[in-house]
Amino acid sequence: MSQDNVGLVKADIIPAAAREAHQRAGACVDERRFVDSIVHAEEAARLCPNWAAPWWILSVGYKHALRWEDALRACDRAIELDPDDCEGPRWNAGIAATALGQWERARAAWASVGIKMPPGDGPIEMRIGPTPVRVSPAENAEVVWCDRIDPCRAIIHSVPLPESERRYGDLLLHDGEARGRRQFGNHSVPVFDELDVLERSAYGTWEVVVRCADPEQLQSLIVELKRAELGVEDWTGSVQMLCAACSLGEPHDHQERDQSQGEWQPERRLGVAARSLAELSPLRRALFWWRSEVVSVRQVL
């Protein structure tokens, strides 16, 4: 929706003060200071309540402030005022209704933007596929792979670094705006920002430092851990620091390369998702437990 869209209001009767407040709100949105936009958009909506544009900005601001009931009301008002140009408010209505557990309302919102809903009236269960989500985006941001189960919910499938304070199995609410892309097989898939953690996982995060002579030895250990239905991530091999352009776009090659890249590093730092120390017994089956190959085992989250 254009920020200049007037909805039910004729452009020439929008008060100047409302326009100025709306411009301030829009400037905040342009700078991604979404919560800061609320006070200005509220002023614009108060001065010109039948103008759709401030309500659209309010739906965005309230969403990022996690004020879900307010967000849903703002979405409904924006849709009411301008039903022909409201895909954004309809999408945000789906997110807000999902956060509130209002499944009938969420299903209606997703259907209104052309998403086919599975039958039922409870929580939405879909198989959208692997999706990268930027967790803890405000600080200690990390892009992790998740299983997307509906248009705005995903379950973390990899093992995030402890700095993100996210765990394997956390159920996330994520935004609908793509902010970057990652490669999955032969496909480029969008990255979404986390909005909230809806359900915390029962898994803890363990850091296991091991020595593996070669990739085959590491793979045999990973197979044992996954066979025990534990999450495992080779943090040594998978963690990659990206420049801003890569993180918010699609990672690309840089001219400068680490000369050691491609050389095997025997000492591997693994992230393992387990509910207790006892669940790390696959290390014993893989002949690693308490041998010199195990450098350290500690719970980090």
Q: How confident is the model at residue 254 (pLDDT cuts 50, 70, 90)?
A: very low
Q: How confident is the model at residue 28 (pLDDT cuts 50, 70, 90)?
A: very high
Amino acid identity of residue 184, one-letter, is F
Amino acid identity of residue 177, one-letter, is E
- As a whole number of angstroms, the distance between CA 178 and CA 174 comes to 10
Of 45-49, 125-129, 176-180, 285-289, least confident by mean pLDDT is 285-289
Cβ-contact 52, 69 below 8 angstroms: no
- As a whole number of angstroms, the distance between CA 156 and CA 133 comes to 8
- Domains recognised in the chain with CATH numbers: 11-112 (1.25.40.10), 129-199 (no CATH), 204-252+264-299 (3.30.70.790)
- As a whole number of angstroms, the distance between CA 145 and CA 1 comes to 31
User: Cα-atom radius of gyration of the chain, to the nearest Å?
Assistant: 23
- As a whole number of angstroms, the distance between CA 45 and CA 129 comes to 39
| Torsion 110-115-121-125 (CA) sign | negative
Cβ-contact 154, 144 below 8 angstroms: no
Residue 13 pLDDT greater than 90, yes or no: no
- Pull the structure tokens for residue 146: 């998740």
Residue 177 pLDDT greater than 60, yes or no: yes
Task: Give pLDDT, residue 250.
Answer: 59
In terms of DSSP bridges, do strands 187-199 and 129-135 run parallel, antiparallel, or are they unpaired? parallel
User: Tokens 């301030």 identify what position?
Assistant: 24
- Among the listed residues 57, 52, 58, the one whose alpha carbon sits nearest the alpha carbon of residue 11: 52
Task: Give pLDDT, residue 246.
Answer: 56
- As a whole number of angstroms, the distance between CA 60 and CA 65 comes to 9
User: Tokens 């200049």 identify what position?
Assistant: 4
- Among the listed residues 170, 168, 150, the one whose alpha carbon sits nearest the alpha carbon of residue 160: 168
Most confident region among 31-40, 137-146, 224-233, 285-294 by mean pLDDT: 31-40
Residue 197 pLDDT greater than 90, yes or no: yes
User: Tokens 């993180």 identify what position?
Assistant: 247
Cβ-contact 128, 176 below 8 angstroms: no
Q: How confident is the model at residue 224 (pLDDT cuts 50, 70, 90)?
A: confident
**Which residues neighbour 65 within 8 Å (Cβ) at sequence distance 6 or greater?**
34, 35, 38
- Mean pLDDT computed over every residue of the chain: 89
Cβ-contact 236, 195 below 8 angstroms: no
The DSSP letter of residue 48 is: S
22 compared with 277, residue with greater pLDDT: 22
Cβ-contact 182, 170 below 8 angstroms: no
Query: Around Cβ 77, how many Cβ atoms within 10 Å?
Result: 21
In terms of DSSP bridges, do strands 187-199 and 153-156 run parallel, antiparallel, or are they unpaired? unpaired
Q: How confident is the model at residue 11 (pLDDT cuts 50, 70, 90)?
A: low
Task: Give pLDDT, residue 3.
Answer: 44
∠ CA 224-230-231, rounded to 5°:
110
Mean pLDDT of 279-291: 70
DSSP string, 141-162: -EEEEEEEEETTEEEE-S---G
Q: How confident is the model at residue 244 (pLDDT cuts 50, 70, 90)?
A: low
Residue 43 pLDDT greater than 70, yes or no: yes
Of 118-132, 206-220, 228-242, 269-283, least confident by mean pLDDT is 228-242
- State the burial class of residue 186 (Cβ atoms within 10 Å of its Cβ: 0-12, 13-18, 19+): exposed
Most confident region among 247-256, 258-267, 274-283 by mean pLDDT: 274-283
C-alpha atoms less than 13 angstroms from C-alpha of 100 in its C-beta half-sphere: 20
